[in-house]
Structure formats: C-alpha cells, structure tokens
A and B are shown apart, each in its own frame.
Chain A
Amino acid sequence: MKEKWFYTEKVKEHFFNPKNVLKTGAEAKAYSKKADAVGQVGSPVCGDVMKVWIKVKNNVIIDIKWQTFGCASAIASTSVMSEMVKGMTLNEAMKVRPADIVKKLGSLPAQKIHCSVLGDQALRAAIENYLSKHGKKTKNN
C-alpha cells in the first residue's frame, strides 16, 4: 500500500528497512560479544536512546551495528549514519555531525534535528570507549 509520507523518501527507506540494525535483544547480545566497543546516549524520558557497537581494525571502522528507541527520524538517521561511517578511520568518524547525517537524508523538520539525530554522539561514545580500552586519546573532540 502506498500512503502519503511526512518525511523524505530517504527517511522512509531507512525507517522501513534500517541498515546494520540489530533487530532483537538476542542479536544485540550476540553482537556485543564480537564488538570492540560500544556507546550509548539519550534517555527513554526524552524519547530517544541510541546504542552503537563498532568493530575496528587498523584504526578503521570495519563494522557497525546499532539499536534505537525513538521516532522515525531517530531510526532513519542512525541507519544512514551507520552506512556513512563504515570504512572511515576513527578520526574521520569522530568528525561526523548531525548536519552531515541530515544532508544524507535529504532533509528533516528543524525541530527534529537536535532531539532525534543522536547517532553521531553514540558513535563518538563508542569510539571513545574503543580508544580508552586501547589507552589512546582522541585528537578531535
């Protein structure tokens, strides 16, 4: 069924078919054992929680998985972010900002950006987690 849609087509694509998502608690549990680091931001009170797991090799993000509690733009923005950063170096990934994610999605209503585009923060939390495990400090932040 094709119904009219509030957001951009790109948001729709990622909302209905999120990429790199861990679809169940069991998948999340299994992946968390393989992942090199994890980061989480947000709170259920605010309505958005993002959790990001990364696998890193030679300072490059070779895999990323995520889970999100939140609205359509929260889900879509985390999904599109996960596609953007796969293959980036940690330094490159640290520089990703909400504006870059919104650009990839086409656009988002202004009031949704600060509350729902939190994937980059969760990613930075995961990178910090990775670096602290490996005794390094971030260059950009």
Chain B
Amino acid sequence: MDNAATTQIRKEVLASMEPYLSERYGNPSSMHKLGLEANSAVSESREKIANILNCGASEIIFTSGGTESVNLAIKGVAFAHKKGQIITQKTEHHAVLHACEWLEKNGFKVTYLDVDKSGLVNPLDVESAIRKDTILVTIMYANNEIGTIQPIKEIAEICKKRKVLFHTDACQAAGYLDLDVKSLSVDLLTLNGSKIYGPKGIGILYVKKGTKITPILHGGGQEFGIRSGTENVPSIVGLAKALELAQKEKDSEGKKLAKLRDKLIAELLKIPNSQLNGHATKRLPNNANMSFYGVEGESVILMLNEKGIFASTGSACSAKSIEASHVLLAIGLSHELAHGSIRFSLGRQTREKDISHVLQVFPKIISDLRGMSPVKT
C-alpha cells in the first residue's frame, strides 16, 4: 500500500537487465564487441522509449533518476538563458522546489503558484504569471502525495502560445497516464524507473529538439553532450522494459486499482472526522490520501506496519522528518489534519483481500489512538 515512493522491480524487467549485469558488461563507448553490444542495447532502449513518447531517439537523455532529470531541466534551461523568471507551483516535488529556490539565490526569479483545495493549478494563473522574461514553466503531471492530476496539456499550450518552455515531472504519471509528448505539447518531460516497477537510479529527460539547454554534468560528452558519464546500461535496458510494460498495461491496471481504491476510500470515510485529501476524480487511480482528525500519522503508520500493512504519512512527526507535508499545507489543510494524514498508494500486487485487511484493522487503530488522546475529537 506504499507504491508511490518506489515500486518492486518486475520479474520481466529484472530478466531484461541480467545479461548486462554479468557477461554483457561493456562500455557503450568502446569499439570492440562488448562495447558494440552495450551500445546497441542503449540505442534499442532509447528507440523503444522514443516510440512510447512519440519523439525522436535523440530527444531522450538518460540520467540517474527523477531528481537529476528535474535538475537538468530546470537548471539546464536557466543556465542556457542566463537570467529570467521560472514559474512553478507549491505542491511540486522537492527536487523542483529546491532547485528553484537555489536558482533564486543565484539571481533568477521564481513564481510559486497557489493551488486550489483539491491541489489543482489554474491554467489562467499560469497565463497571467508569464512575463517578458519568463524562461520556463514547470508543473508536475500528477502529484506524488495526493495524486492530483494537473491540466498540463492546457498549460503547455498556453506556454507554446507565449513562446515559453514547459517542463513536466511525469514520474508519478508514467504508470497510468498518456506520455505522448506531441499531444501533451511539452518541451521537457521527466520520467524515472523506480515508480514503474523498474530499477532505481535511472531516469530520462525528454528534451525537444532545438530546446536551449546547458549540461550540468560535464565530461565525456555522452547523451548528445547533454549528460556526460558512462551509460548505466543494465538500468537503461530495465527502464525501457518497465516503461513498455507500464504503458501497455496502464488502462487495465488503472481501472483495476481505481476500483479497489474507491472501495478503500468509501469505507474509510465512514470513520467519523475523516476526509479525502486531493481531487475526487482528477487523481491517480492508485492514490488514496486521507486525514483522520485527532490522531498522529506516525502512530497510525507504525500500528499498520505491525499488521503487515505499509502506508505513509504527511505528518510532521513521521520518524524521519519533522516538517508537515508542504503539499497538504498548500491545499489548505490545518497542521492538525496534516498530522493525521495517511497515504495509501496501491500497486500491481494489491488485491481485494489487502483492502479488506486494511478495512478490518484500520478503524480500531484510529479509535484506540483517539481513545488515549487528551484532545477531544
């Protein structure tokens, strides 16, 4: 029930990678047999991904993952333009927000748009934020915490009309939504392997031909000079396989998970003082983010863990963070409700019986924690 942070690698994906982790260990830059073997594996994977994205192979840049792709897109465009304004929004992943904040410290202007209470960006807000010096708009395809799907096509068309580059972080969307860069009208698009049952540490940045972008990693000139470094051959092969499978199965998988997810939400909303966070319909089919007033998320997560159920929380008190989720605060949740937030993100392996198991144990966890709380709910 925690498939948004990362996913389990698929057997087919692992099998496709294995030869490149052992006997086919060549460096794609070498001119001998091993090198050529590796080189053609990279080329074939690039072709495969380009077909899915409906773009040219030379527009696919392999990187070390979503964070690097986002950094390359944002900083690469910024450096290529030397100065100017970037437009983004408040529920972006930290990779986007922190890259933008860093650019602000280095002379660039950044506008962080508000979202409504379901987490949606209003395309008209994007339009009115665009100025003469705007160089890039970067808005995520779908949110990792609340699953809200942004109207990126509309936003991209506005950018096109205003001659501003548009980047979208599509990491969460890749398993469920359309990735045709022509129909989406995007200039840059970030994807990674670890969210689609592929390997970690691999991502791509789609860079539309002719886009002004400066590399952030310099070296041997791999990836058309945009991203130096010896290609991660096994992971590139694995990413191509994972993306191929994810896109082939996206409709059937989405339908199946939405049904399970809707049951989970409907039943959990029967708990008094509970609410769904995010948009009712414009949301990823595997995402259920809910708040339960009067409980603290980490306690809930750890009690679920003991029952073999893995979920996550936007609470400030979650074991590894002391800040409440910026996404939940941006959609207007109070700190109390952010503390009581639980995210279930379903995945390929989620079954009806798993949902039933959650429904069996969850209400008692909430009532036990509320019972021992001195705060009245």
Contacts and interface: CB of A to CB of B under 8 A. Distances in A.
B371 A49 contact: no
B317 interface: yes
Contacts of A48: 296, 317
B374 A47 contact: no
A10 to B, nearest CB: 14
Contacts of A24: 371-372
B308 interface: yes
A28 interface: yes
B24 interface: no
Contacts, number: 92
Contacts of B297: 71
Interface stretch (A90-98, A99-107, A111-119, A129-137): A111-119
B316 interface: yes
A68 B98 CA distance: 35
Interface string B321-365: 010100000000011100100000000000000000000000000
Indicate the size class of the contact surface on chain A. Answer: 35 or more
A21 B372 contact: yes
Contact of B315 (A47, A68, A111): A47
B296 A69 contact: yes
A72 B322 contact: no
B322 A111 contact: yes
B294 A69 contact: yes
Given A72-B298, A72-B302, A44 B307 contact: no
Nearest to A21: B372
B302 A68 contact: no
B319 interface: yes
Interface residues of B, number: 32
A69 B375 contact: yes
A100 B319 CA distance: 21
Contacts of B298: 71-72
Contacts of A3: 305-306, 308
B174 to A, nearest CB: 29
A18 B307 CA distance: 18
B314 to A, nearest CB: 11
Given A6-B319, A7-B319, A71-B299, A25 B306 contact: no
A15 B302 contact: yes
Contacts of A21: 372
Contacts of A67: 372-374
A45 interface: yes
The 10 closest A-B pairs by CB, nearest first: A71-B317, A51-B374, A69-B373, A71-B298, A67-B374, A24-B371, A47-B339, A47-B317, A45-B335, A69-B375
Given A1-B307, A69-B296, 8 more contacts: A15-B299, A46-B316, A47-B317, A48-B296, A70-B299, A71-B315, A71-B319, A112-B319
18 contacts: A16-B303, A40-B374, A44-B336, A44-B339, A46-B335, A47-B316, A48-B317, A49-B373, A68-B373, A69-B375, A70-B299, A71-B296, A71-B317, A74-B317, A111-B322, A112-B319, A115-B322, A116-B317
